[in-house]
Structure 1
Amino acid sequence: MDWLTAENLIAVVTALLGVLVSTGAVWYERRVPHQRRIGYRVQLDTAIGTRAAHSAVTGPGGTVRRGFFNATPGLSDGTLVLLRIENDGALALTREHYTDGDDHGLTVVFGTEEPKIRRVKAIVVTAPDHPGLLTHFPDSWDGPADGATSIVLPKVPLNRGAHYKLLVLLTGGPIGSPVSVHGNIAEGVVHVNHSTTPDDKPPVFSRVARNVTVVLTLCVVALAAIIVREQTPPPIGCAKGELTVTGSTAFAPVVRELAKKYEKDCEGATVRVEAHGSTSGIRRLAEEGAKTAQGSPAVIALSDGRKPGGFPQLRESMVAVSLFTLVLNDGVPVDNLALEQIRRIYRGEIKNWGELITSMDQPILLVSRDANSGTREVFQRRVLGRNEPANSSLDCEHSNDPESEVVRCELDSTEQVLSTVAKLPGAIGYTELRDGTGLKGLHRVAVDGRRPVLDEIGESSYPYREIEYAYTWGEPPADSLTSSFLTYLRWGSGQDVIRTHGHLPCSTPKGLRICGDG
């Protein structure tokens, strides 16, 4: 698989990581914080008795800092604990949300096993930001008994972000002995939290926000490193190899421009354009296909109109609606011919332009394409309603057949027709619309007052138009250069180039209707 490259794998993994992190963050923010939660943490745990002196460090001058309660009876092993209890969830907490019964809200425990058990000597409750919380500690609440190892707290309602603190004087176990808070909260939890210390400023972003920002930043950097690299990866759908596009000379300018664009966009692809006429291209494709034991040869044949009879193995795709036009040497001051006048000229009934312009005496010279030309086939079918007369001239100026009614020559390409008409006085020929513009020495001719106008296709009765077909030998593999270039021709950039050259892409809404009608 061509897409399975290191760069693509990194891009996919990075994109998935970014999606997973973002999804996880949303889930966390939507699910976890919307619980009822009581968080607690110890903000201060320090020795105040003789042990404080034993554990102190030597200060300036060699003196030892000593505890302040050494002389107080029973406090030689005293410790002070400052405990913060807060609602750190997203929902308010009322008395009804405490489910332990009676007036029992939370229980604070100071150690469960000797020698780490500490016993309560005194307690102070404070709520500096929400003094009204203290009213939920009624006068009947006397706190714990002297020597108790736990404190039973009442059911204190807490709005989101509200907190209160307990300053507890303890004896017994050393500082750092476990302090835990227990209780049952309806649809909630009691947990240890890890907020900032009292002297710190709260962070601008939460921990989740910081982590998500870091991960997503890394994802963006990784993707940018892939995008901004020395070699830009080819567009999706590119294929490598060699391809020959043959057939219509009228459509060749479109294909040549697209071949250059494709080779530029898709490294490793070579597209050769060898246009020698629609019928010639169909025959070459059939010959190449017959030589191929299996599969489809790397050849596309373009034809002005459907292929001739036979060739059942060829698969067709409609590409565009092409407009064609008659062109006259500038020495003939005619810019409109009736359809019947054109037919009489090509039947040899009108041999001199003087028959149409009384002040002029100039023989008519018919400059045509050879039998391989799709442009000629369209002209015969759509305009003349019959085949052109036989070839009677080698130099397009003098007749080599004394029995011929007209002077008519055949040339191999559209370019040769255009240059010859521009050079020979009295010459008339035909061409694909785009090729008939911007050339000196000749001009386009309207038919029955109708001119070839791209925007009027489908509404105008202008007869000289045809569908451009692309043929392949059977169905080429989806990952082949043949299939890729055919898609490139019919869609995307191909549509813009086709329209620039004066054709209507079949893949556009209007083109679909007209191409479908044939």
Structure 2
Amino acid sequence: MEWMTAENVIAVGTALVGVLVTLAVVWIDRFSPQRKRLGFRVQLNTPLHREENQDSEVMTVREGQVVGMAPPANGSTLVLLRIENDRELDIGSEDYGASTDPHGLKITFGTRTVQGVVATVPAGWVSIRDDLERDPKLGRHESAVLVPKVALERGQYFKLLVQLSGGIADRDVKIGGSLQGGSIRRNRSTTPDEKPARFSPTARTVTVVLTACVVALAAVIVRDQDPPPIGCARGSLTVTGSTAFAPALRGAAKQYEEDCEGSTVTVDVHGSTAGIRELAEAGAKAGAKAGANGAKGAPAVIALSDGHKPGGFPELRENMVAVSLFTLVLHDGIPVDDLTLDQVRRIYRGEITNWKQIVPSVDQPVLLVSRDANSGTRQVFQRRVLGRNEPANSSQDCLTLDDPTSKVIRCELDSTEQVLTTVAKLPGAVGYSELRATDGRTGLHRVAVDGRRPVVEELGGSGYPYREIEYAYTWGLPPADSLTSSFLTYLRSGRGQDVISAHGHLPCATPKGLPVCGKG
């Protein structure tokens, strides 16, 4: 049926909940047999300490007369209880349950002996005082206080000040008895002077539920009337390419989906070069399909690359997004946190094969832990730091030399996570990674190059070499109303910039990023 939209279902359901709750509360309030309730609460629980050579007594005033309690001994405790009618109906003496004990309530205090008890009644409530003084009177027996069957009108209460032989926890204070047509319960502890609530629990419950229903209905109405945010687009998009930039891409995709209803942005990265090839293949397929239908087609794919794309893909359109920082990482067993650029190049040329050539006291072979050929992180390292390609792969386990003609042990791994885990595990290992991926890692540390460290705030001034621009590539110029165009704009401005900055990158389209990205 046409009316069964999500908004209408929510609206009808919310209204129904409001009506049912109101009816339920009225029924409980007017027709439920559990309408009377006697409450009690612990308002004071404090130890007493009697000074030596003093004969002072603990006293209270009732109706103008001073009533004494036993002199306090060290270790005694005073407990103040409030007994109250906290519902709408009066409680009569006949409402207390039938019992062979003439008293209405029995309050116990665990194993503590009751040394004394006095009652206080607000002025004007004479009937309560009379009930407490009428046989059987308020009394005590060992660890219990015996309370008469006191009639309490709505909102009335009285207090009991009890002196115990030792300390007691509030939870160990128990009340025994029954109330016909009602219940006896412990209430929240309050200060002695706290005023009764302005509204009854029933009124508060109905008010809260109806307010929530009104807010929910208003939200449905507002949601139905509000237009989608400017610049948003619906549909599905795949973002691929750089693994180094993947955390920022996932954060931006999640934020975009929250800001733009009806959009799905999937981040599926396998490396910069692999992403470029995936985009090119998707573009070729989309172009062939569109050509058969007599229309121009473009895939909903964006590929992120650490640096410029490889040659041979003329259809791809380039957009600068941000500057990423990378770092060399070294096993913690090697006490080196700064290498010269010349030392790094000699290590990767196989001229330095043991760390003792740099630190004489450390006799440990150099192990090169690298990324595979699809990795943009590796390509940036070769382009920006080494100025040449890395040596050939010579080990499968990153520890054993499989090629006897190789000067150095070098292995290739599929992801940054594998590189960092391996470097932290193998003594003498050195590798590289996107900067933020090393945060919180144990077993390895970052290495400066020529005394310069990877710091976003210093980009453009420090001359740190291991950095690169992140480029976003699309198949030609995407349509202005497409999700591809919308998400690309989102990455380069507004909230997308905030997400990228939060992940440790410098957005290009900012006053600080423009000159850095302009230098390439």
Q: What TM-score results when the alignment is normalised by the length of structure 2?
A: 0.55
Alignment partners' CA distance in 1, 2:273 and 2:386: 19
Alignment partners' CA distance in 1, 2:450 and 2:279: 38
Helix, strand or coil for the counterpart of 1:292? Answer: helix
Asked if the contact 1:329/1:427 (under 8 Å) is kept, the reply is yes
Identify which of 262, 268, 283 aligns with 1:268.
262
Partner of 1:507: 509
Q: Pairwise mapping of residues 296-335 of structure 1 onto structure 2 (< 5 A)?
A: 296-335=298-337
Helix, strand or coil for the counterpart of 1:315? Answer: strand
Partner of 1:203: none
Asked if the contact 1:295/1:476 (under 8 Å) is kept, the reply is no
Partner of 2:272: 278
Which string of whole-angstrom CA distances, capped at 9 and with x for unpartnered residues, describes residues 320-363 of structure 1? 01111101111111100010000010011111111111111111
Identify which of 370, 383, 386 aligns with 1:384.
386
- Please report how far the alpha carbon of residue 313 of structure 1 lies from its aligned counterpart in structure 2 after TM superposition: 0.5
Alignment partners' CA distance in 1, 2:519 and 2:221: 47
- Please report how far the alpha carbon of residue 514 of structure 1 lies from its aligned counterpart in structure 2 after TM superposition: 1.4
Alignment partners' CA distance in 2, 1:416 and 1:392: 17
Alignment partners' CA distance in 2, 1:272 and 1:229: 29
Task: Summarize the Cα distance change of 1:401–1:488 in structure 2 as closer, same or farther, 3 Å threshold.
Answer: same
Alignment partners' CA distance in 2, 1:225 and 1:275: 41
Alignment partners' CA distance in 2, 1:230 and 1:307: 43
Partner of 2:210: none
Which string of whole-angstrom CA distances, capped at 9 and with x for unpartnered residues, describes residues 221-278 of structure 1? xxx9799725665422111111111100000010011111112222221111111110
Q: Pairwise mapping of residues 84-483 of structure 1 onto structure 2 (< 5 A)?
A: 229-230=222-223, 233-293=227-287, 294-483=296-485
Partner of 2:143: none
Partner of 1:205: none
Partner of 1:495: 497
- Please report how far the alpha carbon of residue 455 of structure 1 lies from its aligned counterpart in structure 2 after TM superposition: 0.9
Alignment partners' CA distance in 1, 2:364 and 2:268: 37
- Please report how far the alpha carbon of residue 480 of structure 1 lies from its aligned counterpart in structure 2 after TM superposition: 0.8
Which string of whole-angstrom CA distances, capped at 9 and with x for unpartnered residues, describes residues 357-401 of structure 1? 111111111111111111111111111111000011111111111
Asked if the contact 1:324/1:452 (under 8 Å) is kept, the reply is yes
- Please report how far the alpha carbon of residue 451 of structure 1 lies from its aligned counterpart in structure 2 after TM superposition: 0.3
Alignment partners' CA distance in 2, 1:511 and 1:227: 42
- Please report how far the alpha carbon of residue 468 of structure 1 lies from its aligned counterpart in structure 2 after TM superposition: 0.5
Task: Summarize the Cα distance change of 1:430–1:505 in structure 2 as closer, same or farther, 3 Å threshold.
Answer: same
Helix, strand or coil for the counterpart of 1:328? Answer: strand
Partner of 2:162: none
Helix, strand or coil for the counterpart of 1:387? Answer: coil
Alignment partners' CA distance in 2, 1:324 and 1:227: 47
Partner of 2:519: 517
Alignment partners' CA distance in 1, 2:278 and 2:482: 20
Partner of 2:157: none
Alignment partners' CA distance in 2, 1:507 and 1:263: 22
Helix, strand or coil for the counterpart of 2:329? Answer: strand
- Name the amino acid aligned to 1:291: K
Alignment partners' CA distance in 2, 1:312 and 1:495: 28
- Please report how far the alpha carbon of residue 295 of structure 1 lies from its aligned counterpart in structure 2 after TM superposition: 2.3
- Please report how far the alpha carbon of residue 433 of structure 1 lies from its aligned counterpart in structure 2 after TM superposition: 1.1
Helix, strand or coil for the counterpart of 1:323? Answer: strand
Alignment partners' CA distance in 2, 1:263 and 1:330: 41
Alignment partners' CA distance in 1, 2:420 and 2:229: 38
- Bigger mean CA deviation after superposition, 355-364 or 307-316: 355-364
- Name the amino acid aligned to 1:333: P
State the identity %: 75
Helix, strand or coil for the counterpart of 1:284? Answer: helix
- Name the amino acid aligned to 1:298: A
Partner of 2:129: none
Alignment partners' CA distance in 1, 2:401 and 2:499: 41
Helix, strand or coil for the counterpart of 1:229? Answer: helix
- Name the amino acid aligned to 1:253: P
Alignment partners' CA distance in 2, 1:226 and 1:256: 29
- Bigger mean CA deviation after superposition, 490-499 or 336-345: 490-499
Alignment partners' CA distance in 2, 1:483 and 1:418: 35
Alignment partners' CA distance in 2, 1:229 and 1:309: 51
Alignment partners' CA distance in 1, 2:485 and 2:219: 28
- Name the amino acid aligned to 2:222: R
Ranges of 4+ aligned residues in structure 1 off by more than 6 Å: 224-228
- Name the amino acid aligned to 2:334: V
Alignment partners' CA distance in 2, 1:400 and 1:490: 46
Q: What TM-score results when the alignment is normalised by the length of structure 1?
A: 0.55
- Name the amino acid aligned to 1:229: V
Helix, strand or coil for the counterpart of 1:459? Answer: coil
Partner of 2:141: none
Gaps of 5+ in 1: 1-223
Gaps of 5+ in 2: 1-216, 288-295
Alignment partners' CA distance in 1, 2:233 and 2:420: 36
Alignment partners' CA distance in 2, 1:419 and 1:275: 20
- Please report how far the alpha carbon of residue 492 of structure 1 lies from its aligned counterpart in structure 2 after TM superposition: 0.8
Alignment partners' CA distance in 2, 1:508 and 1:363: 44
Larger Rg: 1
- Name the amino acid aligned to 1:367: V
Alignment partners' CA distance in 1, 2:394 and 2:242: 24
Alignment partners' CA distance in 2, 1:285 and 1:303: 11
Partner of 2:39: none
- Please report how far the alpha carbon of residue 301 of structure 1 lies from its aligned counterpart in structure 2 after TM superposition: 0.3
